[in-house]
Amino acid sequence: MMMEILLDPTMLSDFLSTSLRLSIPVVFAALGGVLSERSGVYNIGLEGMMLAGAFGAAVGTFFTDLPIVGLVTGMFAGTLTAVVLAVLAVSLGVSQIVAGIAINIFSIGVTSFLSRIVFSGQANTMTLPGYKAFAIPGLASIPIIGPVLFNQDALVYLMYVTVPLLFYLLFRTSWGLNIRAVGENPRAADTAGVRVNMVRYLCVLGSGALAGLGGCYLVLSQVFLFSEHMSAGKGFIALAAIILGRWNPVGALLACLLFGLFDALQLRLQFANPEVPYQAFVILPYVVSILALVGLVGKPRPPGAVGLPYRRESK
Amino acid sequence: MSLSRRYFLSFAALAFVSVMLAPPAMADAFKVALVMPGNITDQSWNQAGYEGLMNAKKELGIEVAFSEKVAQPDQAEAMADYARRGYNVVIGHGGEFQEAANRVARKHPDTLFVVHNGTEPAKNIATLDFYYKQFGYLLGVIAGRMSKSGKVGFIGAQKIKFSTDLVAGYQEGFETVQPNGQVFIAWTNDWDDIAKGKEAALSQIAQGADVVFPTMDNAAIGSLQAAQEKGVWGFYLYYDSIVDWPDTVLQSAIMDIKAAMVDLLALAKEGKAEGKNYNMDVNSPKAARLGTYHSAIPADVKAEVEGLVAKMKSGELRP
């Protein structure tokens, strides 16, 4: 079965496309998580922000029939959810883990409730306009990887741009230096004149927008409708991808692709091996990530001040 | 920010109290509670349960309550809570509630517990289930007649009695028509992950399947979408889904838990419901039947399937 996938070029590129599609929403959420945690705020609420983003995208597109409006409203809904985290974690100094979990639970409830009002129970049968795949001339004709990477929809191309942009922002600009300083040692950053909580606010809001974008992908590129709890745990996989990717946008991207690859693989392995319990395949992506965490790279070192609220007056 | 925790908490507390002061329910009516694993807008199992409850409320004039998205660890507490509050019937909507019902029923002997798709009826536990294998078999025969590639797909979320029975029947029926054909089976381990449902169907279609049969809740929509996009056939469950998927769905196994619920609750209201298994099959067409045939299904296939149904009714054919 493995050999069949690897040898047949159409099957191989089909398999790789599935892997890519399964990882895109997780990539966006993981990028958001990297941004937030680099500034010193754990974002456990990625799952909830993604779900809010999906709902926002569906509502915006539903009322205007324009996916671009859905994209904006989706990112806005993600950002709005992030405001809650920012207020709780940065201003009020509540435990960031607890605040994040609360956001996830809150988001499941409020999106279900609102979707029943807005779509009056018909959310599962509608088909919203969205982004369809289009080939980039030239690049798409590269054998095997061409159709995988360059015959996708607009949001996938947006992801290709976002990853290097975020990398550049974090590691090559003075803003990025501020963000990382705030995440490593907020007191030193404060002494140097960086407005710690302002930076954290912006990063958490940006994080929400990115996670919301992941939700937009689910609705506008993948299934063209909103379904309750459609994020289905993708935000939690993103949390693992952040650690596996060492709080680096490129690393997080690779980690997500690894998940996507094994998720696609397990779907195919199952029906080739019906005698093996399916749970063995379902856990494959997670087993691989644990092995990668333990074996591939040394001890992870999170940003120094992540999880700690900053109070100027405290010592 | 000048917003302090104290202000925040006092506002939150105020909001909480005003919600809790909602008027209490009235006493001494016949009360039924439904505890569901998923949400009531899934166009599937949970929505059917909810609508069944609402129909019962209307037709029987009973008082009802329900809980959505009750996770496995909370099942027993949710059911016990309704029993303590004096509900006459507490329904667990799915075979996964059996364990919880067993535990709670002993402590609340005056309450009737009903487990949909349950496996162990007891003194005050009634179970209500369908002859899933029959319908899997019928759809399998249609799949066998309609598949040109000789490969068909089945997608389930978890291996529970409902899905293993369905897939066993599906396979058996398919193989009577195409003994050398192949049934691809995929388990997604998630009832809600619609994107994964879609990818599971796409990968079956990529390997040649030209009929797919998804059996999840929310996530099945994704599989049917994949079938629609790729121009292959699909099956679905619970309602006559051809109305929503006119060019994709060949046939639906209408296992109408709604009608079955109303009938059972009517018995319960009269005090006649017993702790036994109520099984719905082709002989109870109000609750369990096939839906509308797609116009692409040839007349002789239709006749063949109707013949099989007749044989099932007489008991001659027991898949």
* Span A270-288, pLDDT tens digits: 767 777 888 888 888 888 8
* Span B237-248, pLDDT tens digits: 988 999 999 999
The answer on B309 and B183 residing in a single domain is yes
Q: How far apart, in whole angstroms, are the C-alpha atoms of residue B215 and residue B218?
A: 10
Our count of domains for chain B comes to 2
Residue B6 forms part of a structural domain:
no
Q: Which domains does chain A have, with CATH numbers?
A: 2-296 (1.10.3470)
Closest-approach residue (CA) in chain A for B43: A124
Per-residue pLDDT tens listing for chain A (315 residues): 556 666 778 788 888 988 999 999 999 999 999 999 999 999 999 999 999 999 999 999 999 999 999 999 999 999 999 999 999 999 999 999 999 999 999 999 999 999 989 988 676 778 899 999 899 988 888 888 888 899 899 999 999 999 999 999 999 999 999 999 999 999 999 999 999 999 999 999 999 999 999 999 999 999 999 988 899 889 999 999 998 899 999 999 999 999 899 888 888 887 677 778 888 888 888 888 778 777 766 677 889 999 999 988 876
Is the minimum CB–CB distance between B51 and chain A shorter than 8 Å? no
- State the best of B41, B196, B238, B243 to mutate against chain A, taking most chain A CBs within 10 Å: B41
Residue B175 forms part of a structural domain:
yes
Contacts of A228 in chain B (CB under 8 A): 39, 41-42, 192, 218
Contacts of A278 in chain B (CB under 8 A): 159, 186-187, 189
> Average pLDDT, whole number, for chain B?
90
Phi, psi of B311 (to 5 degrees): -65, -35
The answer on B166 and B310 residing in a single domain is yes
**Shortest alpha-carbon distance between residue A268 and chain B (Å):** 7
The answer on B121 and B263 residing in a single domain is yes
Residue B16 forms part of a structural domain:
no
The answer on B268 and B176 residing in a single domain is no
**Shortest alpha-carbon distance between residue A270 and chain B (Å):** 6
Contacts of A282 in chain B (CB under 8 A): 187-189
Residue B74 forms part of a structural domain:
yes
Question: Is the pLDDT assigned to residue B1 strictly greater than 50?
Answer: no
- State the best of A225, A267, A310 to mutate against chain B, taking most chain B CBs within 10 Å: A267
Find the CB nearest A223 among B184, B195, B244.
B195
The answer on B229 and B200 residing in a single domain is yes
Residue A6 confidence (pLDDT): 67
Asked if B140 contacts B171 with a C-beta cutoff of 8 angstroms, the reply is: yes
Chain B, 255-284: which have a CB under 8 Å from a chain A CB?
Answer: none
The answer on B168 and B126 residing in a single domain is no
Is the minimum CB–CB distance between A54 and chain B shorter than 8 Å? no
The count of CB pairs under 8 A between chains A and B is: 111
pLDDT average, residue stretch B192-213: 92
Find the CB nearest A230 among B184, B194, B199.
B194
Question: For residue B76, how many other CB atoms are within 10 A of its CB?
Answer: 19
Find the CB nearest A223 among B47, B187, B198.
B198
The answer on B147 and B95 residing in a single domain is no
Expressed as residue numbers, the domain containing B151 is: 132-237+290-314
The answer on B187 and B301 residing in a single domain is yes
The answer on B215 and B117 residing in a single domain is no
Contacts of B192 in chain A (CB under 8 A): 227-230, 232
Is the minimum CB–CB distance between B74 and chain A shorter than 8 Å? no
pTM: 0.84
Residue B1 forms part of a structural domain:
no
pLDDT average, residue stretch B104-114: 94
Find the CB nearest A92 among B8, B204, B221.
B8
Chain A, 226-265: which have a CB under 8 Å from a chain B CB?
Answer: 227-230, 232-233, 263-264
The answer on B150 and B31 residing in a single domain is no
Residue A141 confidence (pLDDT): 87
Residue B7 forms part of a structural domain:
no
DSSP secondary structure of chain B: ----HHHHHHHHHHHHHHHHTSPPPPSSS-EEEEE-SS-TTSSSHHHHHHHHHHHHHHHH--EEEEE-S--GGGHHHHHHHHHHTT-SEEEE-SGGGHHHHHHHHHH-TTSEEEEET-S--BTTEEEEEE-HHHHHHHHHHHHHHH-SSSEEEEEESS--HHHHHHHHHHHHHHHHH-TT-EEEEEE-S-SS-HHHHHHHHHHHHHTT--EEEE--STTHHHHHHHHHHHT-EEEEESS-GGGT-TTTEEEEEEE-HHHHHHHHHHHHHTT---SSEEEE-TT-TTTEEE-PPPTTS-HHHHHHHHHHHHHHHHTS---
The answer on B304 and B208 residing in a single domain is yes
The answer on B191 and B89 residing in a single domain is no
Residue B2 confidence (pLDDT): 52
Is the minimum CB–CB distance between B204 and chain A shorter than 8 Å? yes
CATH number for the domain spanning B49: value is: 3.40.50.2300
Asked if B29 contacts B21 with a C-beta cutoff of 8 angstroms, the reply is: no
Residue B248 forms part of a structural domain:
no
Residue B275 forms part of a structural domain:
yes
